[in-house]
Structure 1
Amino acid sequence: MRIGLLGTGPWARLTQGPALVEHPETELVGVWGRRAQAAAELAGHLGTRAYDSADELFADCEAVAFALPPDVQAPLAARAAAAGCHLLLDKPVATTVAGARELAAAVESAGVASVVFFTLRFAPETAAWVAAQSGADGWLTGRADWFSPVFGGADTPYSDSLWRMERGALWDVGPHALSLLLPPLGDITGPEGVVAARGPGDMVHVALRHVSGASSTITVSHTVPPQASVVTAELRGAAGVTTLPERGDGGAVRPCLRALDALVESARTGRPHPCDVRFGLRVTEILALVDEKLPPAHR
Structure 2
Amino acid sequence: MNRTGSTTPRIGLLGTGPWAVATHAPALAAHPGVDFVGVWGRRPEAAAALAEEHTVAVYEDADALFADCDAVAFALPPDVQAPLAIRAAQAGCHLLLDKPVATSVAGARELAEAAERARVASVVFFTLRFAKETAAWVAQQASVDGWFTGRAQWYGSLFTPDAEGNPYAASPWRGEKGALWDVGPHALAVLTGVLGEVTALTAAAGPGDTAHLILRHTSGASSTAGLSFTAPPAAAGVEVSVLGEAGAQTMPGWGGALDAFGAAIDALLEAARTGVPHPCDVRFGARITELLADAEAQLGRARRS
TM-score range, shorter chain: over 0.9
- 1:266 is aligned to 271
Asked whether the equivalents of residues 13 and 73 of structure 2 are also in contact (C-alpha less than 8 Å), the reply is yes
RMSD: 1.1
The answer to whether residue 123 in structure 2 is matched with residue 121 in structure 1 is no
- 2:254 is aligned to 247
- 1:69 is aligned to 77
The Cα offsets for residues 206-237 of structure 1, whole Å up to 9 and x where unpaired, read as 11112222111000111123332111101011
The answer to whether residue 268 in structure 2 is matched with residue 276 in structure 1 is no
Asked whether the equivalents of residues 78 and 99 of structure 2 are also in contact (C-alpha less than 8 Å), the reply is yes
- Greater mean deviation of Cα atoms: 9-18 or 202-211: 202-211
Q: Secondary structure at the match of 1:158?
A: helix
TM norm structure 1: 0.96
Q: Secondary structure at the match of 2:79?
A: helix
Give the unaligned 5+ runs of structure 1.
none
CA distance in 1, matches of 2:226, 2:245: 24
Instruction: Work out which of the residue numbers 175, 185, 208 in structure 2 matches 1:175.
Output: 185
Task: List aligned pairs for 1:8-27, cutoff 5 A.
Answer: 8-27=16-35
Asked whether the equivalents of residues 204 and 302 of structure 2 are also in contact (C-alpha less than 8 Å), the reply is no
- 1:86 is aligned to 94
Give the Å deviation of 1:84: 0.3
1:42 is aligned with what amino acid?
L
- 2:112 is aligned to 104
The Cα offsets for residues 163-222 of structure 1, whole Å up to 9 and x where unpaired, read as 000000000000000000012211122xxx221111111110011112222111000111
Give the Å deviation of 1:157: 2.3
The Cα offsets for residues 136-170 of structure 1, whole Å up to 9 and x where unpaired, read as 11111001111112222224221110100000000
CA distance in 1, matches of 2:207, 2:274: 47
Tell me how many residue pairs correspond in the alignment: 293
2:231 is aligned with what amino acid?
V
Task: List aligned pairs for 1:195-210, cutoff 5 A.
Answer: 195-210=202-217
The answer to whether residue 147 in structure 2 is matched with residue 142 in structure 1 is no
Asked whether the equivalents of residues 194 and 293 of structure 1 are also in contact (C-alpha less than 8 Å), the reply is no
- 1:238 is aligned to 245
CA distance in 2, matches of 1:296, 1:186: 27
Give the Å deviation of 1:67: 0.1
1:255 is aligned with what amino acid?
A
CA distance in 2, matches of 1:194, 1:104: 22
- 2:197 is aligned to 187
Q: Secondary structure at the match of 2:123?
A: strand
Asked whether the equivalents of residues 74 and 94 of structure 1 are also in contact (C-alpha less than 8 Å), the reply is yes
Q: Percent identity?
A: 63
CA distance in 1, matches of 2:63, 2:303: 39
Instruction: Work out which of the residue numbers 52, 63, 72 in structure 2 matches 1:55.
Output: 63
* Moved beyond 6 Å, runs of 4+: none
Give the Å deviation of 1:296: 4.9
2:247 is aligned with what amino acid?
G
